[in-house]
Copies of this chain bind each other. A is one copy, B any other.
């Protein structure tokens, strides 16, 4: 089951699409997606797991041994500001945004088993949150909503494993 799902996901086209999208957005917003920024964006997109800044640095070192932490953090700052990636605060890690073209109210679903992160629309939750804020006379500026758990694939694998054991 899991293997089939993996096979179905053509990640190369996934990266390509993300890059195209990023380039379009940067052109529109007149932001400069320089080679470094683009490369780090690609590295973030190398899979669907959140990646730490120093993991990125390690990857970049293969191509540019002189790269320094600040290189990574500058690129991350740019990509965050451009809305092209998310920072997962509970992990101090970064993940590509699945829908950068629209300002969306998303919730991150972070799998504790396979570490893959998904992003789903959560407009009504955001409305709910803003309502509660309003009830408390609190002006919302930034929402951080992260859900850790077990994704569908991993859950199915666990079920299968349990069946095999019994």
Contact = CB atoms under 8 A, between A and B. Distances in A.
Contact of A144 (B90, B137, B151): B90
Contacts of A109: 133, 136, 138
Contacts of A112: 141
Interface string A107-119: 1010110000010
A87 to B, nearest CB: 9
A148 B89 CA distance: 13
B136 A152 contact: yes
19 contacts: A90-B144, A120-B132, A122-B129, A125-B125, A125-B128, A129-B145, A133-B149, A136-B152, A137-B151, A137-B155, A138-B150, A138-B151, A139-B150, A139-B155, A140-B149, A141-B150, A143-B145, A143-B148, A144-B147
